Amino acid sequence: MDCGGKPDTTPCVTDLPGEEGQCRSGTCCTGCWNGSSCPAGRSASECGLGGVACESCVGCQTFCNQPRNTECNPEWGFTPCGCLEGLCTLDAEMCCPNGCNAQGCL
């Protein structure tokens, strides 16, 4: 889809099957938007798919009050996040079953 002249955040689809995104600065962004470009959206520092704003997954808090080194809280309330398929995640971290962002659990 040509996004020329369409406002930012207008939904768009690329020529590739299933590649949906948002118009950003005249192009269809299927990764994440960092304010000036559209990276792939699969890195811990720029995570997100579908043209959403990039999210940093670096160093999210779990906000757990469990004792250190339990299954729920292996790092005493602090576990680094990663980016998996465009979502910030703590792997199978029980304290953040819905993933996380730099502010904490979702």
pLDDT of residue 97: 56
How distant, in Å, are the alpha carbons of 20, 38, 39, 85 from that of 3? 13, 14, 17, 24
* Distance in angstroms (rounded) separating the CA atoms of residues 17 and 99: 27
Pseudo-torsion of CA 39, 32, 91, 59, nearest 10°? Answer: 80
Name the residue with tokens 């910030």: 88
pLDDT of residue 22: 95
pTM, rounded to two decimals: 0.70
Counting every residue written for the chain, the total comes to 106
Signed CA dihedral, 49, 50, 55, 60: sign only: negative
Low-confidence ranges of the chain (pLDDT < 70): 1, 59-80, 90-106
Comparing CA positions, the residue from 66, 62, 67 lying closest to residue 78 is 62
pLDDT in tens, 4-33: 889 999 999 988 777 899 999 999 999 999
